[in-house]
Amino acid sequence: MTMQTLEFFATDDALAQLESALRAAQHPAQRLPALLALAWQLRQRDTQRALALANEADSLLASGGLHDIEQARVMARLQLIRGEANWLFGDFSGSRVLAESALQGFAELSDLVGSADAQWLLSYIALSQSDRAGRKSALQAVVTAASGCDEVRHIAAQLALEQLELAHDADAAKQCWRIHEQRQTQVVHPLVAYRIEIVRAEIAAAAGDFGKEAMSRLAAYQFAIATGQVRNAVIDATNVAGAFGNLNDFGAGLEWSQLALNLARGAGWAPTIGVALFSVAASLKDLHRFSAARDLLREALAILAPFPTSRHYAIALLYMGEAEIGCKDYADALHTFGLLEPRAIAFDDPNLKAGAWIGLAQAHMGLGRPEQALSIIAQVTDSAQAQAAYQIVALQTIAGIHGSFSLESPPNMTGASPALHYLHLAIDTAATMEGYTVSGELFDAVAQEYANIGDFRRAFEFGKKAAAAREVTHNKEGVNRAIAMQVEHETDKALAGLEHQRQLAVAQAERADTLELANATLEQLGAVGRDITGNLEATAIIAALDRHVHALLDAFTFQVYRLEIDGQTLRTVFGVEDGVTLPHYVTRLDSSRGRVPLCARERREIVANIRPEDSLAMPGTVANLSLMYAPLLVGERLLGVMTIQSPRPQAYGEREVAIFRTLCAYGAIALANAEAQAQLIQSEKMASLGQLVANVAHEINTPIGAIKSSGATIVESLSDTLAGLPPLLQALDAPSQALFSELIAQASRAAPLLSSREERALVKGLSAALEQAGLEGARELAQLLAQLGLTTLPEALLPLLRHPQHERILQAVQNVSTVVRGAANINQAVERVAKIVFALKSYSRVDKSGEMRPTDLVESIETVLTIYQNQIKQGTELVRRYEAELPLLPCLPDELNQVWTNLIHNALQAMQHQGVLTIAIRRDGDAELVVAVGDSGCGIPAAIRGRIFDPFFTTKPVGEGSGLGLDIVKKIVDKHQGRIELQSEVGVGTTFSVYLPLAIKPAGLGLLASGEPHNSFNLPG
């Protein structure tokens, strides 16, 4: 499987195609690329869903099946998705770690597109951390990586660099733009069109053409939305608000700021919400609603507090300080601007520094500290970097300080008063600015100062200038308002045209979708049928039905009823409601109540639509309003009933009924097949059990025979012994009685089995010893002592052998020892029978709980070996190789016994019970235990090795095998999430190795005041 190149940002139409592709993807090989592509395009549209899809892709990736290169590529892309999510939510350090890791992965794969995307993310992080050099370096790396392999990414990165340079070297950036614009002769991708509009807006803003700026920013916003760049769309909306503010349409600016805030809150990204909040606050401040602006700015600063070194935090501080000045909260403003000043200096941003110093001066002036105010604001007038507009505001502020407080006159004062000196400097500075119109407020201030010193002629002169300036400003404001209205009109017109085209496209798409949906439904139902009927276990079939029912239909509630063996009882075998398991429910086929028995009796679908006021529900369930029932039929045979229900009214129409009918048909066929399979498996188990019973019967016969024989011997010996023993003991003195007891003990011990030759040699040796001791009848006496188990003649026994009644003594010893040995034989035989019975009980035990239990594999194997002991001892050498201190295995022990039975039985048959059977149990790392069953038999030819696990495939003669043994083995091993491997060589032997995991994975079944310059900080996207 090869992953396709992913678009950087795709259009809505492309996204819809990705959604369809994911819905249609059933096989993991198809689903993984579909998950990855959709997660990538949803990373800003729906970040949480993108992360959920990435997690699902991870689980598919863990199951294997991908080439190492493709697996590494997918892992790097998933890192990038999570890295962008971290950046959006404000975890910049975590985002950088993932981006750099992904970059390294893509670089090792020589994946230039992936490397370009990783560098894009690094440029975003640098932007958020106000790292201009880092952003420029990352964008240059994107240009280099995407050159020649992806034109859209390449051009978009070039345009982003030009946007960055506009703030640093506007002339050079404009020249690059002109060259680039001349090359634009064809329709471009919406992502490139977005970047083009951003650069156009920046150039228009630098030239003061706010009408063009607003148009371009509106177009950029629309392109951002169309391509899923939600974060950029929020920034663009705030910049549209700023552009309307520059056009004096503060109402429209407030609307766009609110739009940006709604979009940001919907996305849930804290840093972006903070930016949108201070944009709304800036619009409110422009409308002189300082108190409302301050409340929003408090929220913005609280959200942006984790990012105190960001430019956004600094801008929010500037707006907060200006709002506090507007509210006359000078102490708070002094604190806020005090926080802003070091940040502005660190950024080396002339506008932020000037704003901070002017704000500090105004706060000190409001607190009655003119000297501090003058000291601070001098930094603005002395700065060569400060824009002339800020210097004018600074000079007006100094004039206001001198006008409000009695202070020393400045050196080289040219005006009639300190205030007039600075006000004239402000007018002179304004004269140096091309296109700048001195405000009426500035002329009014000059006129007022002349009036204060009694120069009414000059006061009147500047009063007329103030009136003329107001007229110019009024006309300019009118022109700007007209431009703003034109922008809104053209925007509305364009949007109306787009909406008309969209509606036409939607209608056409709906017609196409209807046809496509019909075809897709047929294809999907075919795939669903193969998936359902491909299972041969009832639980797996119902799990597949549950999965597909929820994928294809509105199934808030899903239940399956099975008809029991009596043919009259319907019982739930599966039921879920909103992911929660439902209690079991039983009903009779002849019941007059309920739709389930009615559906079963009449063999037809039932669709019911319930009015909310009439809805009823079984205890513990939801009162659903739409219900559908269908019988599970195979021919005329009824297997049960399936039902789906929904709390949504009128949920099931003709299409839903047809789909549900098809699913029920597939389910019925699969369940019938499962029953047939179960019967075949049961036949196989019964055949195996028959063989085992024969083995066990033969194995038990031997110890039972020993018990019977020993019992008869004991009875025969005991009567004679009991009659003659008391008189004999009375005739013996104490030493003789002791010797008598010792001889009984010796005779009662198990004697070694001797060959005839060994026995003759023993009797001969004892005879010689007896003759040498001077005892008569040495030959007969030696034979008797040999029967008693003596191999030598102890000297201590000679007195007993010389006793006048030595013949009675030896006969009594023989009788007593016979009883003792017979009892020992019975005990041994009973223990053997008990062991066999215990093994048989363990083997035949049926655990219906279906729960995994910790099990000793050695004990499990030994149980089966005990049952097979009779066959093994016929000529098979058993070799055990059990690793020490093996952990317990979570498993279904009864089912594993079936595995060992089949493998051992096959091994014995392959050797015809003559050879070496090897059983090995070992660890394989920390994750698995391995059981290997090997034989020295005929081996399996290579031509048929691939078929040995197929159902009904057998190499045995007709009537000797069903061909289900190894199929059962494989199914049981698969259920335990293990695997089975085969090694075989013809003429040498075969080894089956069963790998079983030690941990089973769970399966799834639930701004400034009037007269000050407007600080519209356009935010880069």
Contact assessment for residue 907 and residue 953, using Cβ atoms and an 8 Å cutoff: no
For 892-948, write each residue's pLDDT tens digit.
888 888 889 889 988 988 898 899 999 999 999 888 999 999 999 989 888 888 788
Q: How far is CA 617 from CA 564, 586, 594, 626, 647, in A?
A: 24, 15, 11, 12, 11
Contact assessment for residue 95 and residue 121, using Cβ atoms and an 8 Å cutoff: yes
615: pLDDT confidence band, cut at 50, 70 and 90?
Answer: low
Q: How far is CA 432 from CA 6, 705, 745, in A?
A: 53, 127, 132
79-105: b (≥16 Cβ within 10 Å) or e: bbbbbbbbbbbbebeebbebbbbbbeb
Residue in the structure block whose two tokens are 């240059």 = 140
In the prediction, which pLDDT does 1009 show? 32
Sign of CA dihedral 474, 477, 483, 484: negative
In the prediction, which pLDDT does 202 show? 85
From the CB of residue 182, how many other CB atoms can be counted at a distance below 10 Å? Answer: 8
Q: Which of 8-12, 383-387, 809-813 has the lowest mean pLDDT?
A: 383-387
Q: What does residue 752 show for φ and ψ, rounded to 5 degrees?
A: -70, 145
For 144-163, write each residue's pLDDT tens digit.
999 888 999 999 998 898 88
Instruction: Report the C-alpha gap between 408 and 371 in whole angstroms.
Output: 10
Sign of CA dihedral 735, 736, 741, 745: positive
In the prediction, which pLDDT does 1008 show? 33
Average pLDDT (765-792) is 71
In the prediction, which pLDDT does 675 show? 80
Copy the structure tokens of residue 882. Answer: 């059990």
Instruction: Report the C-alpha gap between 223 and 227 in whole angstroms.
Output: 6
User: 399 pLDDT exceeds 70?
Assistant: yes
In the prediction, which pLDDT does 807 show? 67
Residue 928's DSSP bridge partners are 924, 997
Cα dihedral 842, 846, 849, 851 in deg (nearest 10) = 50
In order, the DSSP letters of 845-862 are ---TT---EEE-HHHHHH
| Of 813, 736, 753, residue with least CA distance to 781 | 813
Q: How far is CA 143 from CA 100, 171, 175, 199, 608, in A?
A: 17, 21, 18, 17, 62
In the prediction, which pLDDT does 402 show? 86
Region of 1011 on the Ramachandran plot (φ > 0 left; ψ -120 to 50 alpha; else beta): left
Contact residues for 312 (Cβ-Cβ < 8 A; gap 6+): 128, 271, 274, 275, 278, 304, 1019
| Of 893, 887, 898, residue with least CA distance to 851 | 893
Instruction: Report the C-alpha gap between 345 and 376 in whole angstroms.
Output: 14
Instruction: Report the C-alpha gap between 337 and 380 in whole angstroms.
Output: 14
Tell how many helices (H) and how many strands (E) occur in the chain: 35, 14
1015: pLDDT confidence band, cut at 50, 70 and 90?
Answer: very low
Contact assessment for residue 693 and residue 901, using Cβ atoms and an 8 Å cutoff: no
In the prediction, which pLDDT does 406 show? 85
Average pLDDT (439-460) is 82
User: Which one-letter amino acid corresponds to residue 975?
Assistant: K
356: pLDDT confidence band, cut at 50, 70 and 90?
Answer: very high
In the prediction, which pLDDT does 498 show? 46
Higher pLDDT, 32 or 532: 32
User: Helices (DSSP H) in 732-867: which residue ranges?
Assistant: 734-748, 756-772, 778-787, 798-801, 806-844, 857-867
Largest CA distance in the chain: 173
Q: Is 541 helix (H, G, I), strand (E, B) or coil?
A: helix
850: pLDDT confidence band, cut at 50, 70 and 90?
Answer: low
In the prediction, which pLDDT does 1012 show? 37
User: 343 pLDDT exceeds 70?
Assistant: yes
Q: Which of 11-25, 78-92, 471-485, 711-725 shows the highest mean pLDDT? A: 78-92
Q: Which of 247-256, 736-745, 813-822 shows the highest mean pLDDT? A: 247-256
In the prediction, which pLDDT does 708 show? 62
Instruction: Report the C-alpha gap between 54 and 75 in whole angstroms.
Output: 10
| Of 780, 837, 841, residue with least CA distance to 806 | 780
**Interaxial angle between packed helices 388-404 and 350-366, expressed in degrees from 0 to 180 and rounded to the nearest 10:** 10
Copy the structure tokens of residue 465. Answer: 């200038």
Residues above pLDDT 70, as percent of the chain: 72
In the prediction, which pLDDT does 836 show? 58
Region of 789 on the Ramachandran plot (φ > 0 left; ψ -120 to 50 alpha; else beta): left
Q: What does residue 787 show for φ and ψ, rounded to 5 degrees?
A: -65, -30
Average pLDDT (636-649) is 90
From the CB of residue 746, how many other CB atoms can be counted at a distance below 10 Å? Answer: 17
For 288-307, write each residue's pLDDT tens digit.
889 999 999 999 999 999 88
Higher pLDDT, 207 or 321: 321
| Of 92, 76, 89, residue with least CA distance to 47 | 89
Contact assessment for residue 608 and residue 627, using Cβ atoms and an 8 Å cutoff: yes
For 177-211, write each residue's pLDDT tens digit.
554 554 454 557 888 889 988 888 888 887 777 77
Instruction: Report the C-alpha gap between 241 and 649 in whole angstroms.
Output: 44
User: Which one-letter amino acid corresponds to residue 664?
Assistant: C
In the prediction, which pLDDT does 847 show? 54
In the chain, the N- to C-terminal Cα span, in Å, equals 36
User: Which one-letter amino acid corresponds to residue 71?
Assistant: Q
Average pLDDT, the chain: 79
In the prediction, which pLDDT does 179 show? 46
36: pLDDT confidence band, cut at 50, 70 and 90?
Answer: very high
Q: How far is CA 182 from CA 128, 173, 175, 193, in A?
A: 32, 14, 11, 14
Average pLDDT (62-79) is 85
User: 169 pLDDT exceeds 70?
Assistant: no
User: 727 pLDDT exceeds 60?
Assistant: yes
Q: Is 646 helix (H, G, I), strand (E, B) or coil?
A: strand
Contact residues for 42 (Cβ-Cβ < 8 A; gap 6+): 15, 49, 50, 53, 228
User: 1007 pLDDT exceeds 50?
Assistant: no
Q: What does residue 710 show for φ and ψ, rounded to 5 degrees?
A: -65, -35
In the prediction, which pLDDT does 714 show? 63
